Amino acid sequence: MDKHEELLEECISYFKERKSYDKLFLKIREKYVSLGRFGGTVTLKGLETEDWRQLGGFFQKDFAGRKAVTVSAASMEKALGSSRFAGLEWEEILQAYFGEPLISQKERKLSQQQEKERYFNAILETTAPGPGKVWLEMILRTQGEGNLLLMKNYKENPDFLRRVLKQVLKAVLQLPLFREEKQTAFRQPEKILLAVFAAGTTGDPHFFDAGTLAEQLLIAFLKSALPGGDKRKRLCAEDKASLFYEAGLLIDELSNYTLAYGIHAWARDGKVHEGVEGFWMRREPVLLTLMNLGSLGSVGTVGKKNVYIVENPAVFSTLIRQWGNETILCGNGQIRLATLTLLDLFDDETIFYYAGDFDPEGLQIAQRLKERYQNRLQLWNYRKEYYEKYKSEVEITERSLKKLDKIYLEELQEMKSALLKEKKAAYQEAMLREYLLEKPDDGIQV
* Same domain? 112 vs 213: yes
* Same domain? 74 vs 119: no
* Same domain? 150 vs 238: yes
* Same domain? 320 vs 349: yes
* Same domain? 114 vs 84: no
> What does the alpha-carbon distance between residue 318 and residue 309 come to, in Å, rounded to a whole number?
13
Closest CA to 261 of 297, 295, 301: 301
End residue of a domain, out of 251, 282, 302: 251
The overall average pLDDT reported for the chain is: 87
What pLDDT shows up at residue 189? 56
What pLDDT shows up at residue 123? 94
End residue of a domain, out of 103, 126, 147: 103
* Same domain? 181 vs 146: yes
What does the pLDDT look like over 28-49, one tens digit per residue? 888 888 888 888 898 888 888 8
* Same domain? 302 vs 333: yes
What does the pLDDT look like over 4-16, one tens digit per residue? 888 989 889 998 9
Closest CA to 354 of 315, 397, 323: 315
Interval 204-218 mean pLDDT: 92
The β-bridge partners of 261 are: 328
Dihedral sign from CA coordinates of 200, 204, 210, 213: negative
* Same domain? 135 vs 90: no
State the virtual CA torsion across 340, 344, 345, 349 in degrees, nearest 10: 130
Burial class from Cβ neighbours inside 10 Å (0-12, 13-18, 19+) for residue 446 reads exposed
Residue 114 φ then ψ, to 5°:
-65, -40
* Same domain? 145 vs 277: no
Dihedral sign from CA coordinates of 359, 381, 313, 248: negative
What pLDDT shows up at residue 36? 81
C-alpha Rg value of the chain to the nearest Å: 35
* Same domain? 50 vs 153: no
CATH of the domain at 414: 3.40.1360.10
Binned at pLDDT 50, 70 and 90, residue 20 comes out as: confident
DSSP state of 235: -
The β-bridge partners of 18 are: none
- Tell me which residue range forms the domain holding 203: 107-251
Which DSSP string do the residues of 331-390 spell out, in sequence order?
Answer: -TTS--HHHHHHHHTS-TT-EEEEE--BSHHHHHHHHHHHHHHGGGEEE-S--HHHHHHH
The β-bridge partners of 43 are: 70
> What does the alpha-carbon distance between residue 244 and residue 238 come to, in Å, rounded to a whole number?
10
End residue of a domain, out of 86, 103, 120: 103
What does the pLDDT look like over 163-209, one tens digit per residue? 999 999 999 999 988 875 444 444 455 678 888 899 889 988 899 99
> What does the alpha-carbon distance between residue 391 and residue 148 come to, in Å, rounded to a whole number?
47
* Same domain? 99 vs 114: no
Overall pTM surpassing 0.85 (yes/no): no
Which DSSP string do the residues of 27-38 spell out, in sequence order?
Answer: HHHHHHHHHSSS
What does the pLDDT look like over 369-407, one tens digit per residue? 999 999 999 999 899 999 999 989 889 999 999 999 999
Total domains present in the chain: 3
> What does the alpha-carbon distance between residue 20 and residue 422 come to, in Å, rounded to a whole number?
72
* Same domain? 230 vs 135: yes
Cα 413 to its chain centre, rounded Å, is 29
